[in-house]
Structure 1
Amino acid sequence: MNDLLVAARVDRLPNSRMHREWMFLFAIPLFFDSCDINTFASAAPALVRHWHIAINEIALITSASFIGMFFGATLGGLLSDRLGRKRSLMLFVLISSLGSLATALVPSVPYLFAARVITGFGISAGMVTVMTYIAELFPARSRGTWQSWAMVINLCAIPMTNFVARLLVPYGPDGWRWVFVWGALGIAFPLIAKRLPESPRWSVRAGRFSEAETALAAMETRSMAEGNVLSAPEVVVRAPEPREPWTTMFNPVYRRRTLALCAIWLLQTIGFYGFEAWVPTLLVHHGITIARSLTYFTLINVGAPLGALLAVYPADRFERKHLIALVALLIAAFGLLYGLSFTPVLIVTFGFAVGMLTQTFATLLYSYTPEQFPTGVRNSATGLTYGAGRIANVANAFVIAAVYTNYGYATVFMYIAGAWFLTALITVVFGPRTTGRSLETLNPGVGVEADAASLTPLAEYPRR
């Protein structure tokens, strides 16, 4: 049993009801994580009014989530590479759900800060694990498509949460608390997660060969029971490879990928959360009522699941790095137009375009990131790059507050557009090509003494 044999057996499986079931199961924690991520943006205007807190305190509380997300992504990634994908995912969903419930009960700003740190930890650890889990379980030819469908369901959480907030937040001084209860409903996920198999790729790297064989045999049996005929996998004679050390992501082979993805996630987080987390509050400070700002925000975010849906068709038909760069440029353009618009129709129209395309971008990046690292450090490296963006947004919350205070509403969106432009540039210049390629082809085992030249041509592979 080795990595290439596992890959051959996973990749030969036809798309089936089994994959569809897994996709729905992965969408559940993603859905409720997105519910919670978007709750504070909707609750913030009510806190400003009823708790009489300043916009800098909103920035402080917003930064709390990103502090938690940084530690969740980096430490959670390490934990998942040690415990396995399945057990760690159930643990992280439980942490985020309990954190969201705690947020609903807090009496003051310090407790609110602490609750958001805990929730952020569970959310980002869970999201990173799902990204890796999907990359390892689904066939190479369709993993981008399945990730996109999971994100379609996930992103339905954004307009649904905005709608729930629109109903509950204006309903008295404690209405905002019930929005966080809504975000905690994912606490039931561990009860149904037993239907997911452990990643056989992880099991092999952990030395659990019998568990990997059992999982693969069950997958093949179920696929054949659905009427599929399986081709014989190519048997590759090679000794099992040891788990890569954590430092692998910084060796000469992977260093460029790690640094490029850290920069992409950092800039994407500035662009995405700069928009999502601040639009309701900035609209209120711009003279629009809380109820109307939440109405605009709800209409803007109706496009979120459509954005993921846009990624379904091209995800495995065109090179992902090119799609990511193109979408980032479109977001920059529409974001600038949004910042220069002051009539309801234009605010909603350009905001809708930004909200939709940011989710197209996120869906593609969720597939693109874990593809670039070997199994032994895949979750750790994905977590590190994802976490880099989250910790950057701790400072970003204060930067946006300062830009708004000193330079005005439109300048905030110029700053956000600049982040998206740099994202596109870095992706085109430094990103490898990944679409349709086996994870083991993209990331051959690299031992401690491996030669960096073994992977040098990867970025130059012709697209299938």
Structure 2
Amino acid sequence: MGAFTGAFLRPNVANRLERLPMTNYQRSLFGIIATAWFFDSMDLGIMTFVLGSIKAEFGLSTAQAGLLASSSFLGMFLGAAIAGMLADKYGRKPVFQWSMVFWGVGSLACGFAQDVDQLMIFRVILGFGMGMEFPIGLSMVSEIVPAKSRGKYVAILEGFWPLGFIAAGILAYLTLPLIGWRGIFIALSVPAAFVFVIRRYVPESPRWLEEVGRNEEAEKVISTMEKSVIRANGGLALPEPAKQAAPSLLKGDKRALFAELWHGVYAKRTIMLWALWFFALLGYYGLTTWLGALLQQAGYEVTKSVTYTIYISLAGIPGFIFSAWLLEKWGRKPTCVLMLVGSAGAAYVYGQTASAQAPVEQLIASGLCMQFFMFGMWSVLYAYTPELYPTRSRATGAGFASSVGRLGSLLGPLAVGLILPFTGHTGVFTLGAVSFMIAAFVVIALGTETKGKSLEDVSG
């Protein structure tokens, strides 16, 4: 009974959060986090549109271009793993802020790189910041939004990635002929100043504060949130929290955060997530990072390759919206499998179309289908992952899953650069299709459903 001492004296933070209606207050917090995510996504996605120009300026081989494209993912691998542990130890908010500083400085430095070696180093720094931000943003949204809306909002958060990707393409289309790829990197460093908005308006996760024993701070944050929700809800009284508080372990009962990922029910979930992230990201980044450069290699000029890639990416918007709806209607596991299998089939068809030098209309149509499923896949990944771990190790679990995925991200563009001269477009997209199918089989075999459950219920 010692582990549950005091657990039933009053409703805990989780019960108080779960009974809050969704209002403009929570949506504003979500909007701030999503805006930071959007800027981050622009920085990550821009390489798709400028890689061809960088390759031409430095006279890179396909293998060297693949290594450059992969460099940011090395930083993301390190950033995601470190940030998760730091966020579970020191809090979500400070780590989230530092992530923006790293990617802002890295992007600015990329604009002043004197050679490809410097550019790779600065892309690693930029990637480190992006790797930090993704799992922390997930944890923050998951811990603020109640269970009945959590899947939808986390999926919508991921939807800011295709929006950022498309915005990066539009920026490249409008400015690449004027300021070059260097000017674009410098311009993309400016939104890092958004860190000051995060610092002022976004609170620390009250779930995390309570978990680490900072009860007075947790009480202050949750009370402020309750008052803000009441105001945003027209002054209506809040429903009573659950009479019986969900039990929470005392600080002394916690296992080491990383070790907990491999204990009991979490071990199976960790294996599933690591394999899912690795193969899904290997397939995704192996293909999308090279989309623009592959079109240029096929004979399209720079502006047309950028334009076609933007057109193709537009399907990501309905893709993530459909996925967000399906997550709550159908469930995480079946939606994940559908998006992965759809990504595999569409990628294979796109590769066949590109290699056959089919009419542009067919190329764009098959590309639209591919991006629809791939961006829908991202929505499921980000909604599903943080739900599978308890608050005390959520950021660590999401961070390491994302980090392992970055290994796939790193290997994908590099592998494409190595095999492209031998297999052409068909081999490249077949590699992506196989990766997606492996990820789907892993989810079928090891995945568990979390739809409609509170984070505490899922954690057990």
- Which category describes the TM-score, using the shorter chain as reference length? over 0.9
**What CA distance in whole angstroms lies between the structure 1 residues aligned with 2:312 and 2:416?**
20
**What CA distance in whole angstroms lies between the structure 1 residues aligned with 2:248 and 2:126?**
42
Does residue 161 in structure 1 map to residue 168 in structure 2? yes
Structure 2: segments with no counterpart, 5+ residues: 1-5
Decide whether aligned partners of structure 1 residues 244 and 200 sit closer, same or farther in structure 2, where only a CA change above 3 A counts. Answer: farther
**What CA distance in whole angstroms lies between the structure 2 residues aligned with 1:209 and 1:340?**
58
Which residue in 2 is equivalent to 1:179? 184
**What CA distance in whole angstroms lies between the structure 2 residues aligned with 1:406 and 1:240?**
56
**What CA distance in whole angstroms lies between the structure 1 residues aligned with 2:279 and 2:433?**
10
Does residue 266 in structure 1 map to residue 278 in structure 2? yes
Which residue in 2 is equivalent to 1:112? 119
Decide whether aligned partners of structure 1 residues 272 and 395 sit closer, same or farther in structure 2, where only a CA change above 3 A counts. Answer: closer
Displacement of 1:322 in angstroms is: 0.6
Q: Which of 217, 224, 236 is the equivalent residue of 2:244?
A: 236
Decide whether aligned partners of structure 1 residues 248 and 217 sit closer, same or farther in structure 2, where only a CA change above 3 A counts. Answer: same
What code does the residue aligned with 1:182 have? A
Q: Which of 184, 200, 205 is the equivalent residue of 2:206?
A: 200
Which residue in 2 is equivalent to 1:457? none
**What CA distance in whole angstroms lies between the structure 1 residues aligned with 2:318 and 2:368?**
10
Q: Does the aligned pair in 1 maintain the 2:158–2:382 contact within 8 Å? A: no
**What CA distance in whole angstroms lies between the structure 2 residues aligned with 1:114 and 1:418?**
31
Which residue in 1 is equivalent to 2:327? 315
**What CA distance in whole angstroms lies between the structure 2 residues aligned with 1:365 and 1:351?**
21
- Single out whichever of 423-432 and 433-442 deviates more from structure 2: 423-432
What code does the residue aligned with 2:237 have? V
Q: Which of 207, 211, 214 is the equivalent residue of 2:217?
A: 211
Q: Does the aligned pair in 1 maintain the 2:102–2:125 contact within 8 Å? A: yes
Displacement of 1:293 in angstroms is: 1.3
**What CA distance in whole angstroms lies between the structure 2 residues aligned with 1:396 and 1:192?**
35
Which residue in 1 is equivalent to 2:29? 22
Q: Does the aligned pair in 2 maintain the 1:27–1:154 contact within 8 Å? A: no
RMSD of equivalent CA atoms: 1.7
**What CA distance in whole angstroms lies between the structure 2 residues aligned with 1:147 and 1:74?**
20
| SS of the residue 1:250 aligns to | coil
**What CA distance in whole angstroms lies between the structure 1 residues aligned with 2:255 and 2:144?**
20
Displacement of 1:240 in angstroms is: 4.8
TM-score by length of 1: 0.92
Which residue in 1 is equivalent to 2:440? 424
What code does the residue aligned with 1:159 have? I
Which residue in 1 is equivalent to 2:449? 433
Which residue in 1 is equivalent to 2:177? 170
- Single out whichever of 201-210 and 240-249 deviates more from structure 2: 240-249
What code does the residue aligned with 2:53 have? A
Does residue 277 in structure 1 map to residue 289 in structure 2? yes
What code does the residue aligned with 2:256 have? P
4+ long deviations beyond 6 Å: none
- Single out whichever of 342-351 and 262-271 deviates more from structure 2: 342-351
Does residue 73 in structure 1 map to residue 80 in structure 2? yes
**What CA distance in whole angstroms lies between the structure 2 residues aligned with 1:148 and 1:76?**
21
Displacement of 1:154 in angstroms is: 4.1
| SS of the residue 1:170 aligns to | helix
Displacement of 1:202 in angstroms is: 0.6
**What CA distance in whole angstroms lies between the structure 2 residues aligned with 1:305 and 1:101?**
29
Which residue in 2 is equivalent to 1:462? none
Which residue in 2 is equivalent to 1:93? 100
- Single out whichever of 138-147 and 387-396 deviates more from structure 2: 387-396
What code does the residue aligned with 2:51 have? A
Which residue in 1 is equivalent to 2:54? 47
**What CA distance in whole angstroms lies between the structure 2 residues aligned with 1:154 and 1:57?**
26
| SS of the residue 2:265 aligns to | coil
1:330-377 CA distance string (max 9 Å, x none): 111111111111221111111112122211111121010000011111
What code does the residue aligned with 1:424 have? A
Which residue in 1 is equivalent to 2:3? none
**What CA distance in whole angstroms lies between the structure 2 residues aligned with 1:195 and 1:416?**
41
**What CA distance in whole angstroms lies between the structure 2 residues aligned with 1:96 and 1:145?**
27
Q: Which of 376, 379, 382 is the equivalent residue of 1:363?
A: 379
**What CA distance in whole angstroms lies between the structure 2 residues aligned with 1:279 and 1:79?**
35
Which residue in 1 is equivalent to 2:459? 443
- Count of residue pairs the alignment pairs up: 442
Which residue in 2 is equivalent to 1:223? 229
Name whichever structure is richer in helix by fraction: 2
**What CA distance in whole angstroms lies between the structure 1 residues aligned with 2:414 and 2:158?**
29
Does residue 298 in structure 1 map to residue 314 in structure 2? no
